[in-house]
Amino acid sequence: MDAKTIRDVDVSGKRVFLRADLNVPLDDGRITDDTRIRASLPTIVNLLERGATVVLASHLGRPKGKVNDALRLRPVADRLSQLLGRQVRMTGDALGPGVKVALDKLRPGDLLLLENLRFHAAEEANDPDFAASLAGLADLYVNDAFGAAHRAHASTEGITHHLPAVAGLLMEREVDALSRLLKRPARPFHAVIGGAKVSGKLEVLTALLSRCQAVLVGGGMANTFLAAKGHELGTSLVEEDQIGNARRMLSEARRKRVRLMLPSDAVVAPQIHQRASTRTVSISSVPKDQMVVDIGPETLAAYTEHLARARTIFWNGPMGVFEMPQMAGGTNGMARFLAKRFRAGVVTVVGGGDSVAALEQLGLAARMTHVSTGGGASLEFLEGKSLPGVTALLRADAAIDVTGEKA
């Protein structure tokens, strides 16, 4: 990474504002996937062991600028306490008199977690006064929240105008891994793209058609491409307003001589339900009263056979409704195949919350070259866009010296 990181600054005795991405999925107050918390640990531990006082901040969910008790960070604090083996104290707000009292009690090596930043509308508005107030809590800013780097918010962009700013270890790892896909991927470079909708991935699909030798499509979004080729798909999700874009991409792939692969068979069901019965059919024989819920075994075999030639593979988005066991064959099969290719020396990069969740369920996340914590951020990065959180660090880099002071 071109920007300075925490390795380049002296943090001993300094109060550090650490912006992490602790936006984990919750089910009735219970964390269902702690991947992002665990990914933040190396930076947290590094700063604490080097004598910094850490003021940890994050958002959780979309409270839209209002206090929402269901989106408080207490479950995160509890999980952090378990992982760190020490009690993690937290505040009742991100700012205010209570925060100042708590900060005054901190000593080098202590950690304090602020309450959900997005309880303040000023956070997402990148309000300069709010950013300045956050900066007033610390001597140094560290951004380790790659998953929020595509947002120009007060805690990801505005604060860098008031404090010396460097990247955390996770931010560094994310940028370096994804940069290699943009600049120097080992070829052939193939991408596997899934998920529900084409509309959310138009730009990254366009970008990948310029960088990859093959793009393999699965999930609900494959239905729109199949509909663009004239297939009848029963009650399946099809974005009618995106069929024109799908046709354009199919034409673009032919023009650029990029292999754009679509399912040849599918698992279908009458509805998405834990007890729904499923069967496998040819993509040209989807019953009128059924919907596509997964790629079929023939498609998985064709996809993995083609991917066996790749030296770099990027995967974003599940191949079906992987939350239901009878609809998870394609996603689980793809995950297991990529784990085998990683062991064979192939670069395997996975981005997107659902893809990562599938890997975690199978215990395969550690068997990938890189697993990105940023779904939207990783896609925008691969589109070639500048991410505000990353750009802010590059700009701030010129304003500090290695002691972490303003130059």
Catalytic amino acids? 36, 197, 353, 376
CB neighbours of residue 210 within 10 Å:
10
Q: Which amino acid, one-letter code, is at 23?
A: N
